[in-house]
Structure 1
Amino acid sequence: MAPETSPGRPPVRTDGGETRYAVGIMSGTSLDGIDAACCSVTERGTNEEYPYEVAVESFVSEEYPDDLRARIVELCDEETGTVDEACRLNVALGYLLADVATRSMDEAGVDPDDVDVVGSHGQTIWHIGSPEAVPGVARPQRSTLQIADGSVIARETGVTTVSDFRTADVAAGGHGAPLAPYLDATAFSDGEHHRSLQNVGGIGNCTLLPPLPGRDDVRAFDTGPGNMVIDAVVEILTDGERTYDVDGEMAARGTPDESLIERFVDDPYFAESPPKTTGREDFGHGYARRFIDAGRERGLEDADLVATATAFTAETIADAYERFADPYPDEVFVSGGGAYNPTLMSMLSERVACDVDRLSALGFDPDAKEAALFALMGVARLDGRPNNVPGATGADEPVVMGKVSLP
């Protein structure tokens, strides 16, 4: 059974070595669907800062219905998003995420009564990575907003739910992102090699792991667009018939325009020093339309535009390592939807000055990675353990992130 908790800080458990079940739910900026992982989480007691082992017992993924995905895209656009739609979808997505979480428990053969926590990231609809002043408020602040109400998820699943993770880090002066380094340092550090864990979802982000890192040794940041610009370019060029480049086929037929890539890599975001975050508000459909217009001016055909957008993502990742990875990684392991784009993976291997492989090479299902992260973070929240990485987010100190909703 889930332990008794309260919306305040729960007591730290002292029963080291206990294995518990937790479900993590993730919906990313690429809006390709909802992922849920039912995980077993064991306290190993060998590392006070990263004291868990995580194993994925089941993983399920469900695409958004086309109409709902279109509504979320509109909600994330400052020209079309409305307060009433944010209110409406906050509850509706809670029900949808709860259904996928329940499916993951069923797939694992685990009764909800035996699950300690559901950790839900929700769906980001807006993220402001640079402090902004609000009239009447003395301190400029960053802000971030994820929807999919935790109370709905808790009620529907019957399991204590932790949601709204990012805001505690923001309140501590951080960006509220990236959060993946907590799992990366827990599961993927090596005793000898400097590694980069590169996620290529809607946004690209990397975690730089030295051998056997402590909390202060881990650095991470958003490298820029992952699949977001590629997907939007494909969607615009095909009038919505395609939402992404299946297996990188369009890009493989085209030729990247290196001059156009160089022009767009000159964006101030890429030169900004970490910690830093970005999102759809910077690299969404408006950015993709400008990218296409610039390519058309240079006479690029559709396949060339997709090839250029794909190479642009690869170049921004390679550029980030050249600028900010010190020391340069010995090896890069890629997860996220971009890991399944062979054209992108080939371009990345050509531009990054070390070995590049998929995360599956480390024996971990890359599809389940982000969902497993929120299962782990939910457990840490119930245990009262800090689950941010200040070296990645820029927070003033380690904090316990997540708001608790009881069933």
Structure 2
Amino acid sequence: MRVIGLISGTSVDGIDAALVEITGREWDLEVELLAAQTYPYPGGLREQILGVCAGDALSMAELASLDDAIATAFADAAIRIQADHQNAQLIGSHGQTVYHRPPDTTPHHLGYSLQLGRGALIAHLTNITTVSNFRAADIQEGGQGAPLVPKVDVCLLSHPQRHRCIQNLGGIGNVAYLPPSHSHQLIQGWDTGPGNALLDLAVQHLSNGTQTYDQDGAWAATGKPCQPLVAKWLQHPFFHQAPPKSTGRELFGVEYFQQCLIDGREWNLKDADLLATLTELTVASIALGYQKFLPAMPSEVLLCGGGSRNLYLRSRLAAILQLPVMTTDEVGLNGDFKEAIAFAVLAYWRQLGIPGNLPECTGARQAIPLGDIHPKGL
């Protein structure tokens, strides 16, 4: 089946679209990437989304308009990615997360996660059956609704002998721990904390809005991390909370960054030193999570997501972990579009009635097919 996967992550960099050919059913899955592209949001839409994520108030009419604008942009991405290819038979659209609240310890208190870009409109505009709202079913079962990609990682990235960590570095970082492929019962996964979110906020602030990210980590590489400040930041309860756990910009967003700025001024950090220190927080929080919560350290770490292109971050992670750190590209899976590929697979499984979540990663009571199906127009 030809399936399109669509997602815009917590960095709100644009819509990642992947057109794939899927064969097999579940653990025998095979995926061929036919086309992949990132489509920027139309002018002003990214800023509006970031504003909502930061707490800007919306009327219900404005929320409906934003939902439709995002869906229209996603539908346009799905149409454009099919150029020069046979039409897809299915779309899996994650949408754009604008709010995520994990479940707490209160009895019967479910989590809440809102993704805009309604699947019904995407199906209507593309005339392709669309699966969306993937997180709701896991949350209904008491889960975090995240991370949802580890089962796909198991199918596409497990190794017969090696213990692997697949570390995604979007706005928020998340890990899937894959023991050798004969030991599926030991799989784990959780959100590790900030990925690029704080770094991007810092770059935008320090450059007065002229830059949106630190390409290759070149700016941060000219600075020196303030280790006492990293140690202070690592005292945050999230880093010590046992999995399953998830987070978002609600915790590691604008308000958190403003406190980081204050802390940096108290230590008289130069701009490059602040970037290096925020990079070290991402790296150190990943390492701390591995050390505290994994049954064993991995043989190797495979990076994916936008942060995998940050050469400084990658070198710091390899230095702290003392492990080989590569990208998923180096083992045959495109790291820039792995999340989009994953939601194509989750939509494919939803059509077949196959569960897409792993309860050991999300905390759900049971494995369950994920997503709402919106049939194409007649």
TM range (shorter): over 0.9
Secondary structure of the 2:181 match is coil
Q: Aligned to 1:159, which of 128, 146, 149?
A: 128
Could you give the per-residue CA deviations for residues 228-281 of structure 1, whole angstroms, max 9, x where no partner exists?
A: 111111112222221111221210111110011000011000000001000000
C-alpha separation in 1, matches of 2:18 and 2:208: 34
C-alpha separation in 2, matches of 1:215 and 1:36: 29
Relative distance call for 1:309 and 1:267 in structure 2 (3 A) is same
Relative distance call for 1:247 and 1:66 in structure 2 (3 A) is farther
Q: Aligned to 1:335, which of 282, 285, 304?
A: 304
Q: TM-score, normalised by structure 2?
A: 0.96
Instruction: Give the drift of 1:350.
Output: 0.8
Q: TM-score, normalised by structure 1?
A: 0.89
Flag structure 2 segments of 5+ consecutive residues without an equivalent. Answer: none
Q: Which residues of 2 match residues 2-401 of structure 1 at below 5 A?
A: 20-43=1-24, 50-80=27-57, 82-107=59-84, 109-111=85-87, 115-131=88-104, 139-213=108-182, 216-401=185-370
Q: Which amino acid aligns with 2:97?
A: T
Relative distance call for 1:82 and 1:126 in structure 2 (3 A) is farther
Contact kept in structure 2, 1:233 and 1:289, CA below 8 Å: no
C-alpha separation in 2, matches of 1:82 and 1:192: 54
Relative distance call for 1:75 and 1:82 in structure 2 (3 A) is farther
Contact kept in structure 2, 1:75 and 1:85, CA below 8 Å: no
Secondary structure of the 2:154 match is helix
Which is worse superposed, 206-215 or 180-189? Answer: 206-215
Could you give the per-residue CA deviations for residues 197-241 of structure 1, whole angstroms, max 9, x where no partner exists?
A: 000000000000011156643210000000011111111222222
Relative distance call for 1:230 and 1:383 in structure 2 (3 A) is same
Instruction: Give the drift of 1:140.
Output: 1.5
Flag structure 1 segments of 5+ consecutive residues without an equivalent. Answer: 1-19
Which is worse superposed, 76-85 or 52-61? Answer: 76-85
Instruction: Give the drift of 1:106.
Output: 1.4
Could you give the per-residue CA deviations for residues 6-38 of structure 1, whole angstroms, max 9, x where no partner exists?
A: xxxxxxxxxxxxxx1111001100111101101
C-alpha separation in 2, matches of 1:336 and 1:369: 7
Q: How many residue pairs align between the two structures? A: 376
Could you give the per-residue CA deviations for residues 148-169 of structure 1, whole angstroms, max 9, x where no partner exists?
A: 0101110111110000000000
Instruction: Give the drift of 1:131.
Output: 2.7
Instruction: Give the drift of 1:82.
Output: 5.0
Q: Percent identity at matched positions?
A: 39
C-alpha separation in 2, matches of 1:286 and 1:235: 15
C-alpha separation in 2, matches of 1:297 and 1:85: 40
